[in-house]
Chains A and B, each alone.
Chain A
Amino acid sequence: QIQLQESGPGLVKPSATLSLICSVSGGSISGYYWTWIRQPPGKGLEWIGYIYYSGTTNYNPSLKSRLTISVDTSKNQFSLKLSSVTPADTAVYYCARGLEMVYAFDAFDIWGQGTMVTVS
């Protein structure tokens, strides 16, 4: 059964770069789109962006200028880098996978447990 696990620093200074990794276990990263989603404390969910296993990306326009998502198929993991962070980037960051291999935008049936990142 496929599982996702986020990892990275829990505290990032303002203006620095937030870096997270999502490790995929129990299955291959190949063939699917892989997504990052975040949730500020007490608020709703925000789509950050996705990467296809081949490297194709699509980012939320509101974050595009600061965002890089990359994939390492040899390690079965993908990563997120968000530069020039501010306290508004404080959130729980989730990685997720869609139901179907062929759809870039999909319902997400597999989620990581989430990792809290505080910008302060």
Chain B
Amino acid sequence: EIVLTQSPGTLSLSPGERATLSCRASQRVSRSYLAWYQQKLGQAPRLLIYGTSSRATGIPDRFSGSGSGTDFTLTITRLEPEDFAVYYCQQYDTSTTFGGGTKVEI
């Protein structure tokens, strides 16, 4: 099983700042099958990024994904008030697993 480790656990930032979230895999994620989700309290996860760097439908361009192999990054260039939430990465190369999440708080 591929274990995904997200860091930091919590990121404390202000609106307008840049957020950089990390997702590290225990083994190589081939074919760039890595996705990112945003989850707000009481809601289902919302797909942001798939295939490491492709934005899902309707996702603003302040969200971007990058990386390869075992190290992946989600960047939010300018935090909007609605971006404060928990973010999860997911690999779907070998079965599928999720990371433990990063909370982005004000």
Chain A residues within CB distance 8 Å of chain B: 44-47, 94, 99, 103, 105-109, 111-114
Q: How many A-B residue pairs have CB under 8 A?
A: 47
Q: A99-B50, A106-B92, A107-B47 are in contact. List 5 more A-B contacts (CB 8 A).
A: A44-B88, A47-B98, A107-B35, A109-B57, A111-B46
Among A44, A99, A108, A111, the residue within 8 A (CB) of B99 is A44
| B56 is an interface residue with CB less than 8 A from chain A | yes
Q: Is the interface of B mostly helix, strand, loop or mixed?
A: loop
Cα–Cα, bound, A104→B93 (Å):
10
Cα distance A45–B98 when bound, in Å?
Answer: 6
* A107-B88 in contact given A45-B45, A94-B44, A99-B50 (Cβ < 8 Å): no
**Across the interface, do A113 and B44 meet the contact criterion of CB distance under 8 Å?**
yes
Query: Which B88-102 residues have C-beta < 8 A from chain A?
Result: 88, 90, 92-93, 95-101
In the bound complex, residues from chain B placing their C-beta under 8 Å from that of A111 are: 44-46
Encode contact with A along B65-102: 1 for CB under 8 Å, 0 otherwise. Answer: 00000000000000000000000101011011111110
Distance, CA A107 to CA B101, complexed state (A): 16
Assembly CA distance A112 to B43 (angstroms): 9
Q: Tell me which residues across on chain A come within 8 A of B100, comparing CB atoms.
A: 44
CB neighbours (8 Å) of A44 from chain B are 88, 98-101
Give, as a whole number of angstroms, the nearest-CB distance from B39 to chain A. Answer: 8
With contacts A44-B88, A44-B101 taken as known, whether A105 is within 8 angstroms of B95 at the C-beta atoms is yes
Report whether A108 and B97 are in contact in the complex, using a CB–CB cutoff of 8 Å: no
User: In the complex, what residues of B have CB within 8 A of residue A47's CB?
Assistant: 95-98
**In the docked arrangement, what's the CA distance between A112 and B97, Å?**
19
